[in-house]
Amino acid sequence: MLAATPERGLRAEVLPAAVDILLAVGDIAAARDAAVELGELAGEDTEGRLGAMAAGARGAVALAGGDARDALVALRASVRVWQELEAPYEEARSRVLAGLACRALGDEDSAALELDAARRAFAALGARPDLARLGRLAGTADAAAAAGLSVRETEVLRRLAAGATNKAIAAELVLSVRTVDRHVSNIFVKLGVSSRTAAAAYAHEHRIV
């Protein structure tokens, strides 16, 4: 879609979906590029619909990249603008990510408030797929948090469980192999396992993948 859509105005409508899809398949670098382009298209329009979309995309990419603090700043800006624009569905989607960012920062009370607000909005709108996804996300975050895993360690564990080597994980997450080695060692300690197979089994058993 992006390749077939050179017009700036139309690209602004496609880029948010591109960010979602790229993050879903784990291509954080490409998602970041799409979010940057969306931000450039938004320009100084931080209080309008395009600005809200750009802030949400920026926050989603930051969260996926392990920068929960920057993610929360962007996502709360997105929530505020969607609220002012009276767009409850978009507001709820940003609240889900804001809640996960709060949880990654150890602020469970704020996380619960954000996720509960999103859940109520989705229920009022009859958005059943989003309610189901919220349940899965909350479950994954709960399991990872219970094990003491950081957002980045969770990302590494998911890829490890899919059979990726440390070198492949490093390339996908734009990290050094040494950094991934350290994350894997920390994951083993926190999960109380001694092998990649056992870590993968834990991830599948607790639905972290």
Whole-prediction pTM value? 0.67
Buried/exposed 122-139: b ≥16 CB within 10 Å, e otherwise: beeeebeebbeebeebbe
Pair 82, 165 in one domain: no
The CATH number assigned to the domain holding 163 equals: 1.10.10.10
As a whole number of angstroms, the distance between CA 126 and CA 22 comes to 26
Residue 170 in any domain: the answer is: yes
Residue 125 in any domain: the answer is: yes
Residue 80 in any domain: the answer is: yes
Three-class secondary structure of residue 195 per DSSP: coil
Q: What is the pLDDT of residue 165?
A: 94
Residue 2 in any domain: the answer is: no
Pair 34, 83 in one domain: yes
Q: Final residue of a domain: which of 146, 179, 195?
A: 146
- DSSP label at 48? S
Residue 33 in any domain: the answer is: yes
As a whole number of angstroms, the distance between CA 177 and CA 156 comes to 12
Pair 52, 124 in one domain: yes
- What's the number of domains the chain is made of? 2
Q: What is the pLDDT of residue 139?
A: 65
Which residues form the domain of 124? Answer: 8-146
Pair 140, 156 in one domain: no
Among candidate residues 111, 110, 103, 181, the one with its CA nearest the CA of residue 148: 103
Residue 1 in any domain: the answer is: no
Q: What is the pLDDT of residue 140?
A: 67
| Percent of the chain surpassing pLDDT 70 | 95
Q: What is the pLDDT of residue 183?
A: 94
Instruction: Report, as an integer, the average pLDDT of 189-208.
Output: 88
Pair 62, 96 in one domain: yes
Residue 70: pLDDT band with limits 50, 70, 90? very high
Pair 44, 115 in one domain: yes
Residue 44: pLDDT band with limits 50, 70, 90? confident
Pair 163, 117 in one domain: no
Q: What is the pLDDT of residue 50?
A: 92
The CATH number assigned to the domain holding 14 equals: 1.25.40.10
Residue 177 in any domain: the answer is: yes
